[in-house]
Structure 1
Amino acid sequence: MTGQLRVTCGVVVLDERDRVLLIRRDGEGTWGIPGGGLEPGETWEQAARRECLEETGWDIELDGLLGVYSDPATQTHRYPSGAVVQFVGAVFLGRPGSRTATPDGEATELGWFPLDRLPAPLFAPDVPVLRDASHRHDRPFVG
């Protein structure tokens, strides 16, 4: 397989009712967790907070590592443009603090969903992450 390797982070933000914050990404229309690539000089934690704020407007608190994901079978994605990317990243658990910003437009929609009633279509690399989030007592996951 030819493609690009991308170092990423994400955050599963759960509210007090155990609902997860998902974004519907512009372009593909898939639902997924807030996240994205690390920038030079950032830690995974800093990037997770920044990406969540940029994509959702929510300032969050991190509650630790959910898992590290790199399995090419689940973390490789072909974009509509034809680009193939394998994601290698850390995903954190978080909780909402306050809505302090306006989303950057990368998401066309935001929503809070029970983990057992997620919207479709899901961003494929987030499927194992969301599955693991429903079993978070067994963390951290490595896959």
Structure 2
Amino acid sequence: MDSETELRACCGVVVLDDHGRVLLLRRRGEGTWGIPGGGVEAGETWQQAARRECLEETGWEITLHGLLGLYSDPATQTHRYPTGRVVHCVGAVFLASPARRTGTLDGEATELAWFALDRLPTPLFGPDVPVLEDAARRQDAPFID
């Protein structure tokens, strides 16, 4: 990892509906599909950040059910954005269910849709690939990478 790589505390949310479908958003610019999530702000817990990011990005309020896993592997959790910015995210990903839709897309996403975990769209946002694989396996213990 080079000195230009930014280390960031991040969170993500795998939102599953009653049919086991996952909520994904298509990211503006890259056109990749991924889970809601982003950076943890100062003074905020991972859980608070997860709820905030999901609401901001999708308009959905959620109920958190537990930790899916902790993700830190630079090989999968480092991403170069179209702007050239390189970010290594170290963070927690939670399992959640949708509570109610209260808002709209915040501009980071162009589209929002529900998908079966065995029929995911392409292309997927790189760092979310191992997360979605773990969500499909759904083991009792959280995954730690």
With the length of structure 2 as denominator, give the TM-score of the two structures. 0.96
Inter-partner Cα distance in structure 1 for 2:28 and 2:128: 16
Matched, 1:80 2:82: yes
**Secondary structure, counterpart of 2:41 in structure 1:** coil
The residue number in structure 2 matching 1:71 is 73
Deviations 1:48-102 (A, max 9, x none): 0000000000000000000000001111111122221111000000000010112
Q: Choose the corresponding residue for 1:126, options 116, 125, 128.
A: 128
Q: Choose the corresponding residue for 1:38, options 37, 40, 46.
A: 40
Shift in Å, 1:139:
3.0
Matched, 1:29 2:31: yes
The alignment yields a C-alpha RMSD, in angstroms, of 0.8
Aligned residues: 143
Inter-partner Cα distance in structure 2 for 1:138 and 1:78: 32
Kindly report which structure 2 residues correspond to 1:1-143, keeping only aligned pairs within 5 A, or say none: 1-2=1-2, 3-143=5-145
Structure 2 counterpart of 1:141, one-letter code: F
Structure 2 counterpart of 1:59, one-letter code: E
Structure 2 counterpart of 1:140, one-letter code: P
After TM superposition, where is structure 1 displaced by more than 3 Å over at least 4 residues in a row? none
Shift in Å, 1:125:
0.3
Shift in Å, 1:137:
2.1
Gaps in structure 2 of 5+ consecutive residues: none
**Secondary structure, counterpart of 2:139 in structure 1:** helix
Inter-partner Cα distance in structure 1 for 2:40 and 2:125: 19
Structure 1 counterpart of 2:58, one-letter code: T
Gaps in structure 1 of 5+ consecutive residues: none
How much identity, in percent, do the aligned residues show?
73
Between 131-140 and 108-117, the greater mean CA deviation after superposition: 131-140
Deviations 1:100-136 (A, max 9, x none): 1122111100000000000000000000000000111
